[in-house]
Chains A and B, each alone.
Chain A
């Protein structure tokens, strides 16, 4: 599925929004005489989405500190280590710091975020598998 379509959905069932001959407007014609019936939508309610402006970008990575953060999925630590090696070889002015996010896979880690905000300039996060 392309991203444009996914973005337009914002979490709703794609087909529900894709247009259908069974759209609500046709409900007006619902009547037992033409063999049509009405049935209820089984969907619950998604939460409203608060759009979050993205953080300002850096002009350059030269001389900056990048945190390499693993969320704990298998292989992420090794993969991030290869990124560390890549930077050392191709952009030696970049300092890289590896961290394993605390807690279970989807847990927040405010302590780490505070450390990064105080000492880092950017984050590369690797999310399995």
Chain B
């Protein structure tokens, strides 16, 4: 732009601000800092920030801001050219225990022991795909537009798949997830989670668990494919460096291996999720989701009280407290799906439409919900405060998947958006 600029950032994001400025080519950008947070403070408190000190320089803030705009440039400030950030050697050497410590202490793991990615193991992983080791797979960063994107190859993904404990036969699924370019670790101050629905013959081929405990620690492919996603995000997408590329205030246990959901197609009365998204039934596909989290949902109205369960009311009830920022994902046991068919929902579409229309929020609440009016209906701002509007922008933002072992007609609800579907077959 060519106009002097003074960015102001709260102190909680100091490392993020400095590293991001450097990665974007302005390592000496004159960033000024306020105490944290600004959000929620009164006008008087904010003005006191201005009258106080910059918590980094410990000098009065307003003169610092004015100085950022008026202090003459130094030779470093005027530098141009190109810098290539190093990422270390191609190989590390040491005793196995030393290497375990090295990978862990250098931010390359999830702080649990890894399978050391020796050349032999990585080669075995690479044999599970027809794609060349140096073929690009995708680009990833902790938040699109906010960070530079790192690129990665089939070999890079293979190394991480080995580390996660994947059998080579799982590799095409990991590659498809990596090709979605969705990181499992977001930089947001929210502690977001991700999910991947797996459809098609690959589920049976890999013995993925679609039944009892499908989303728990009870099957190697479910566990390690999800773990590989997080390792790829950390190592290939520069995600997950607390303070710089990860700011989630709580963190999220889902991030260890994410929500891997192989759909129970055999026991579902509906067409599989990937068919809804335009794929053929015989194709193997992974569909990735991003959002808040997942929770048990069988506390809604219409369950256990009425003689006939009204699952759709329970879905809408639970989505009523979701964030408009994301969509809704219903995860239901096959018994629930069969019950819904008996209630007249022969296909998913009318159910999704019903749930979308009945998962509502008042305009008043939308106005005071974080980003509420930016993500609900565009004309909502013109409606009276007591009008109710769908919490999600359209029915397409509500999805449903069938999984589980039919031990009870239970369901879960996730405040998550579908962020894309990728063919696994293309990565075999």
Contact = CB atoms under 8 A, between A and B. Distances in A.
A121 B18 contact: no
Nearest to B25: A52
Interface string B81-117: 1111111111111111011001101111000000011
Given A53-B78, A53-B79, A86-B50, A22 B8 contact: no
Contact of B88 (A41, A82, A122): A41
A111 interface: no
Interface string B143-172: 111101111110110011001000000000
B282 to A, nearest CB: 33
Given A7-B18, A41-B91, A106-B145, A13 B241 contact: yes
A26 B93 contact: yes
Given A6-B22, A15-B107, A104-B145, A38 B82 contact: no
Interface string B41-71: 1010011011000000000001001100111
Given A11-B238, A104-B145, A125-B5, A42 B108 contact: yes
B399 interface: no
A57 B72 contact: yes
Interface residues of B, number: 104
Interface string A77-118: 011011101100010000000000000111110000100110
Contact of B87 (A13, A78, A116): A13
B175 to A, nearest CB: 14
B80 A51 contact: yes
Contact of A27 (B38, B93, B159): B93
B26 interface: yes
A51 B80 CA distance: 5
* Most-contacted residue by chain B among A35, A40, A55, A125 (CB, 10 A): A40
Contacts of B87: 12-13, 16, 41, 43-46
A59 B70 contact: yes
B12 interface: yes
A116 to B, nearest CB: 6
B93 A82 contact: no
A129 B150 contact: no
Nearest to A30: B93
Interface string A36-71: 111111111111111111111111110000100000
B119 A51 contact: no
Nearest to A47: B148
A26 B105 CA distance: 18
Interface in B118-160: 118-119, 122, 140, 143-146, 148-153, 155-156, 159-160
A46 B25 contact: no
B271 interface: no
B149 A47 contact: yes
A48 B87 CA distance: 12
Contacts of B34: 79
Nearest to A121: B3
B305 interface: no
A7 B20 CA distance: 10
A61 B70 CA distance: 7
A58 to B, nearest CB: 5
B47 A10 contact: no
Contacts of A38: 91-93, 118-119
Contacts of B23: 10-11, 46, 49
Contacts of B106: 13, 15-16, 20
Interface in B334-350: none
B150 A29 contact: no
Contacts of A16: 86-88, 106
Nearest to B155: A40
Given A11-B238, A48-B83, A124-B6, A37 B118 contact: yes
* Most-contacted residue by chain A among B1, B118, B238, B241 (CB, 10 A): B1
A129 to B, nearest CB: 5
Contacts of A104: 145
Given A38-B118, A82-B43, A125-B5, 5 more contacts: A11-B23, A37-B116, A43-B87, A54-B73, A123-B6
27 contacts: A10-B22, A10-B85, A12-B87, A14-B107, A26-B94, A39-B118, A40-B119, A40-B122, A41-B88, A44-B87, A49-B22, A52-B26, A54-B30, A56-B73, A59-B70, A60-B70, A61-B66, A61-B70, A82-B50, A83-B50, A86-B62, A108-B145, A117-B1, A122-B6, A125-B5, A127-B7, A129-B37
Interface of B: 1-10, 12-13, 15, 17-19, 22-30, 34, 36-41, 43, 46-47, 49-50, 62, 65-66, 69-73, 77-96, 98-99, 102-103, 105-108, 116-119, 122, 140, 143-146, 148-153, 155-156, 159-160, 163, 189, 231, 235-238, 241, 243-244, 370
Q: Which 6 A-B pairs have the closest CB atoms?
A: A24-B89, A44-B236, A106-B145, A75-B39, A44-B152, A15-B106
